[in-house]
Amino acid sequence: MSKVIKQDKDELLNVRKELAVQKVEKEKLAAELVTANKELVFQDKEKVKRAAELGIANKELVFEDAEKGKRAAELGIANIELDFQKDEKEKRAEELSLANKELAYQNKEKEKRAAELSIANIELAYQNDEKEKRAEELTLANKKLLFENKEKEKRAAELVVANEELAFQNNEKEKRAAELIVANKELAYQNKEKEKRAAELSIANIELAYQNNEKEKRAEELTLANKKLLFENKEKEKRAAELVVANEELAFQNNEKEKRAAELIVANKELAYQNKEKEKRAAELSIANIELAYQNDEKEKRAEELVTANKELKQAEDDIRKLNDELEQKVIERTAQLETANKELESFSYSVSHDLRAPIRAINGYTTILTEDYAEKLDADGIKVLHSILRGSKKMGELIDDLLAFSKLGRKQVTVSNINMTALVTLVREELLLEDGDKVPEFKMNALPAAKGDQSLIKQVWINLISNAVKYSKYKPKTTIEIGAYEKKDQVVFFVKDDGVGFDMQYYDKLFGVFQRLHSQEEFEGTGIGLAIVQKIVQRHNGTVWAEAKPDKGACFYFSLPNINS
């Protein structure tokens, strides 16, 4: 059992003793308190008795006071009597005065006594209070003691538990002790074993001693053998000398080998260093591998993302393609619709103008017959009216023809070939028909390059432009027309320049419009279709037409065509 447990046990015993002493003390104190309580009860009773006695004494004094009052009344009467009997009474008064003094003194004494009793009462009341206080204090002390007892009982219960714990621990310790005992037994057994071994070793020693003897015997034999060996040694020394030489040889060889070994060591170190380097490298590679593995993962993730992104892109592309297809389809449909509409319009304008020709011809024809065959039956005004009808019908016929020609342009197939422009313009010049009032123009021809286009259509362009130049120069003293060309990128630009009336550039927008005119019919005849036809033809050749002019300073018309190399 350990010391600590013993100490705990002693301490516990001491505590128990202490508790026993405290219990006895408490019981004594409780007994004393009971005695003191009884004493106090007794004193209370005594005080009650004394108070009763004092009550009676007081009543007696009251009664005596009443008696004294009566006596004093009697004395008053006696004094009255005494007034009568003065002499005697004075004597008697003196006696009474003395007696009064005596009574006064007695009263005073009684009052003193009453005051003392009153003080004694107060004193008793105070003492009662004190005793009550003390009783309360004792009651409190009792309660406290009761509480402390309970606490101590609790502590005792706890100690019991602690004791049980200790007892359990003791048991454990005893078990441990038992185990130690077993271990000791084991050790004792082992010691015995060791002693046995020692005994065996002792026997072995004896054996060794015997063997030593044997060895000494053997040593002697060896001495003999040594002598023999000495001889043999000499022989061997000879041999040794020989061997020395051989040894030197070997030493040399050893040196060589050492060198070689040193070299090998160096090589080994080198290898070791290289190994370390390789290990480092391997470690680095391992890290690099991990890094690569990580990067691969990242790349795979990225690749997946890209695949997803690609899919999305593909989807978007498909959508766009779909939309494009739809749009294209729509464009095709719309184009077809527009083409149909265009054809309808063209065939409409064609058939309208075509069908209008017959009635206008009829008007013109019959009016002409009237003027020719019935002129005598009409007066001058009638004939004038007929001429107005003729003029109008002629103009209308021209407009219809022009409209027909213009609407035909849109339907006409453009047959492109290389055009020899110089030859073409020359032909147009030769065929040019001049109207009344036109002057024979003076041409200034520059070299004209060849161009691509529909010969008959381009011929119409030249006819219209040159005719215009002639027409709008008719009020000038001389008609000069310059025709030329220049190349611009893959286009050839041709121009027709005159010094006629020109026009104001502010009306340029109307210049190429159908039936748009910048001059009055009185100034210059025309329907306003010529330049519209020029523009339509040039546009159908993917060319452009434009003009420059100043009023009264002439005009220059340009049109571009693809050159033959484009």
Binding site for other proteins (CB under 8 A): 354, 357-358, 360-362, 364-369, 393-394, 396-398, 400-402, 404, 408, 412, 431-433, 463-464, 467-468, 471, 517, 526-533
* Residue type for position 72: A
Bridge partners (DSSP) of residue 557 are: 496, 547
Shortest Cβ 559–other proteins spacing (Å): 15
493 phi and psi, to 5 degrees? -105, 125
**Of 497 and 517, CB closest to other proteins:** 517
- Residue with Cβ nearer other proteins (531 or 545): 531
Alpha carbons within 13 A on the beta-carbon side of 254: 6
Q: Cβ 318 to other proteins, closest distance in Å? A: 47
Give burial (CB, 10 Å; 0-12/13-18/19+) of 371: middle
Q: How far is the CB of 322 from other proteins (least distance, A)?
A: 43
Of 393 and 479, the one with the shorter C-beta distance to other proteins is: 393
Least CB distance to other proteins at residue 351 (A): 10
478 close to 443: Cβ distance less than 8 angstroms = no
Which secondary-structure segment (H or E) carries 260?
Answer: helix 86-373
Cβ(547)–Cβ(557) below 8 Å: yes
Q: Looking at beta carbons only, is 87 or 509 nearer to other proteins?
A: 509
Per-residue H/E/C for 211-227:
HHHHHHHHHHHHHHHHH
Nearer to other proteins, 72 or 404 (CB): 404
Nearest to 347 by CA among 398, 407, 402: 407
Smallest gap, in angstroms, from Cβ of residue 337 to other proteins? 25
Backbone angles phi, psi at 555, to 5 degrees: -135, 155
CB of 533 to other proteins, least distance (A): 8
Residue 402 or 499: which CB sits closer to other proteins?
A: 402
**Smallest gap, in angstroms, from Cβ of residue 314 to other proteins?**
52
Which token pair is 349?
A: 């304008």
Report how far residue 119's alpha carbon sits from residue 434's, in angstroms, rounded to the nearest whole number: 175
Q: How far is the CB of 349 from other proteins (least distance, A)?
A: 14
Candidates 425, 428, 457, 432; CA nearest to 536 is 457
The residue (of 464 and 563) whose beta carbon lies closer to other proteins is: 464
Closest CB to other proteins among residues 8, 401? 401
Place of tokens 């015995």: 192
Residue 420 beta carbon to other proteins: minimum distance, rounded to whole angstroms? 18
Query: DSSP labels for 335-378?
Result: HHHHHHHHHHHHHHHHHHHHHHHHHHHHHHHHHHHHHHHSGGGS
Pick 358 or 380: Cβ nearer other proteins: 358
Smallest CA-to-CA distance from 117 within 69, 73, 70, 53 is with 53
Nearest-approach distance from CB 509 to other proteins, in angstroms: 16
Rounded to an integer, what distance in angstroms lies between the CA atom of residue 315 and that of residue 323? 12
Q: Kindly give the interhelix angle for 530-540 and 455-471, rounded to the nearest 10 degrees.
A: 150
In the bound state with other proteins, the residue whose beta carbon lies nearer, of 30 and 427, is 427
The C-alpha atoms of residue 514 and residue 353 are separated, in whole angstroms, by 15
In the numeric block, which tokens belong to residue 178?
């038992």
